[in-house]
Amino acid sequence: MDLDDLNARVTEAILRAERLPGGSDHAQAAFREVGRIEESIADLTPAHDLEGEIARLGAVTAALSAAEPLRALWLVDRYLAERLSPEATVKLEALRVEANAELADVVSKVPPVRPIKYTLQ
């Protein structure tokens, strides 16, 4: 699939995802699709190119919208290793803070797990 096809697909996917109720399972699935397409665009475009930066930021934002903060953090690390503009770097760092906050919120809601001893008779 070429870049023009991917751009058309990501536009359609974004419009579809944004029409769904925020935070719903369907919206999260739709944003996962947006993220996959944005990652494909990022793979085809240079990091220093405006389109490449937009795709990288879009992939991270889509991961956050899909309630995937670990994926967002992984993408931030991956994309920060590339040569991005200072502006894109600042935006990725802000998305990292958002992903860390989302992850901390999820972790705070997980019930504690304690080991129990059991002896087989």
Candidates 86, 95, 98; CA nearest to 38 is: 95
- Residue 83 is part of a domain; what is its CATH number? 1.25.40
Is 115 contained in some domain? no
* pLDDT single digits (tens) 85-117: 999 999 999 999 999 999 999 888 888 888 888
User: For every residue of the chain, which 3-state class applies, written as one string?
Assistant: CCHHHHHHHHHHHHHHHHHCCCCCHHHHHHHHHHHHHHHHHHHHCCCCCHHHHHHHHHHHHHHHHCCCHHHHHHHHHHHHCCCCCHHHHHHHHHHHHHHHHHHHHHHHCCCCCCCCCCCCC
How far is 63 from 40, CA to CA, in rounded Å? Answer: 14
pLDDT at site 50: 93
Is 117 contained in some domain? no
pLDDT at site 62: 97
Structural domain including 30 reads 3-103
Query: What's the structural domain count of the chain?
Result: 1
Q: Is 60's pLDDT higher than 90?
A: yes
Q: What is the mean pLDDT of the chain?
A: 94
Q: Is 22's pLDDT higher than 90?
A: no
Is 32 contained in some domain? yes
Is 120 contained in some domain? no
* pLDDT single digits (tens) 30-49: 999 999 999 999 999 999 99
Percent of all residues in the chain with a pLDDT value above 90, rounded to a whole number: 82
Is 113 contained in some domain? no
Is 17 contained in some domain? yes
